[in-house]
């Protein structure tokens, strides 16, 4: 049974126009005129996204969405109101885990984009939760399609991180979780516009603020997918800096989880040795010197020291070779692509 989109509003005209709008864009809706009717639908349908008006007879939209935290916690929740109400918006976000808060009358393109983003978010979480290696790798590769310059980045970061972690004597299970976290470390970029990801110059202040949000967005996805703490730490903290000047939390030194410090070194080295939209790659010797220079500032000195000893010359091994495992069967990138295609 395919996941569906539910609109809840006591105004029949709004439901009818919403049906027409979304059907014209290939999205089928189911509708309900009140919260009680909507709750009954959850007994028979898998609902990926629910869009609910707030002021309705009987149960309010806010109370309805709060109920869904127990009934269908993965459903992406959108609350709509006819007027600006900051208190309601904050309550919706804090107590109901509302994904977006929109005002009536909405713009068609706005509501379409919110629902499409909600669908991608729901399906991405479901794919991540299965923790199937082929699916996780395929998902990471698909997210990379938003930025063609990063093709293969997640795989290479995983290999570099595994080489470091293995040399540091971390357990096999931790190594495997580092692999998953490395593959998915940039999964929050699903919410970043290609205009920002693929720009030819340096980001302006507002663009950089948006880019920095990808760590929290990715960690939120990982939390909902119930990934391990190791994987979540990598996704959230791989842009922290050893001297405390990184993001999202400005953690310093060993307050940064070790797995994130490991992936930070791998991530930076791979970024330096590959072409980007705003610069050409550096030679490997130049990149190694730059990583060495970052030791004690952006990067953990101990991790850098280990990396400089284990970084391979020439062709990289696969992550399976590092772990001594059988190769992962190829996933289905075209199928996974449908989960995250287009701008979020």
- CA 262 to chain CA centroid, Å, is 20
Query: Would you give the DSSP letter of residue 282?
Result: P
Q: How far apart are CA 174 and CA 165, in angstroms?
A: 9
Neighbours of 156 (CB within 10 A): 21
Which of 71-74's residues contact partners 24+ apart within 8 Å by CB, and which partners?
A: 71/39, 71/42, 72/42, 72/47, 73/97, 73/224, 74/122, 74/125, 74/126, 74/224
Say if CB 266 and CB 322 are below 8 A apart.
Answer: no
Joined tokens for residue 187:
């999964």
Q: Residue 249, Cβ neighbours under 10 Å: how many?
A: 15
Tell me the two tokens of residue 298.
Answer: 């952006």
The encoded tokens of residue 135 equal: 């699916």
Is the distance from CB of 237 to CB of 258 less than 8 angstroms? no
Tokens of 282: 């550096």
Catalytic: which of 77, 146, 179, 189?
A: 189
189 is catalytic: yes
| CA 77 remoteness from chain centre | 17
Burial (0-12, 13-18, 19+ Cβ within 10 Å), 153: buried
Strands (E), 209-341: none
Residue 4: strand pairing partners: 47
Q: How far apart are CA 79 and CA 81, in angstroms?
A: 7
The closest alpha carbon to 67, from 31, 36, 45, belongs to 36
In DSSP terms, which residues pair with 77 in a beta bridge? 50
Residues annotated as catalytic are 189
């Amino acid at each position: 049974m395919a996941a569906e989109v539910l609109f809840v509003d006591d105004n029949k005209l709004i439901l009818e126009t919403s049906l027409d709008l979304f059907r014209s864009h290939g999205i089928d809706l189911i509708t309900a005129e009140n919260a009680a009717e909507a709750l009954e639908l959850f007994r028979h349908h898998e609902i990926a996204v629910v869009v609910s008006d707030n002021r309705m007879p009987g149960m309010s939209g806010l109370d309805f969405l709060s109920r869904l935290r127990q009934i269908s916690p993965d459903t992406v929740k959108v609350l709509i109101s006819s007027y600006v109400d900051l208190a309601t918006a904050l309550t919706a976000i804090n107590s109901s885990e509302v994904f977006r808060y929109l005002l009536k009358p909405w713009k068609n393109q706005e509501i379409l984009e919110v629902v499409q983003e909600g669908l991608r978010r729901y399906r991405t979480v479901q794919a991540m939760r299965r923790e199937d290696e082929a699916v996780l790798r395929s998902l990471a590769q698909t997210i990379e399609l938003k930025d063609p310059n990063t093709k293969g980045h997640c795989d290479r970061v995983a290999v570099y991180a595994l080489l470091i972690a293995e040399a540091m004597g971390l357990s096999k299970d931790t190594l495997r979780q580092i692999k998953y976290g490395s593959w998915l470390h940039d999964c929050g970029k699903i919410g970043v516009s290609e205009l920002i990801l693929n720009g030819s110059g340096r980001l302006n202040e507002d663009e950089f603020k948006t880019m920095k949000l990808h760590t929290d967005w990715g960690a939120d996805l990982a939390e909902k997918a119930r990934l391990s703490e190791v994987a979540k730490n990598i996704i959230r903290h791989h842009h922290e800096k050893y001297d405390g000047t990184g993001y999202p939390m400005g953690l310093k030194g060993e307050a940064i989880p070790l797995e994130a410090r490991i992936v930070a070194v791998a991530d930076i080295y791979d970024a330096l040795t590959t072409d980007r939209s705003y610069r050409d790659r550096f030679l490997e010797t130049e990149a190694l010197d730059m990583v060495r220079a970052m030791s004690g500032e952006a990067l953990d000195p101990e991790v850098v020291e280990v990396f400089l000893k284990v970084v391979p010359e020439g062709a990289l091994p696969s992550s399976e070779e590092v772990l001594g495992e059988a190769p992962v069967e190829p996933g289905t990138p075209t199928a996974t692509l449908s989960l995250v295609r287009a701008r979020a």
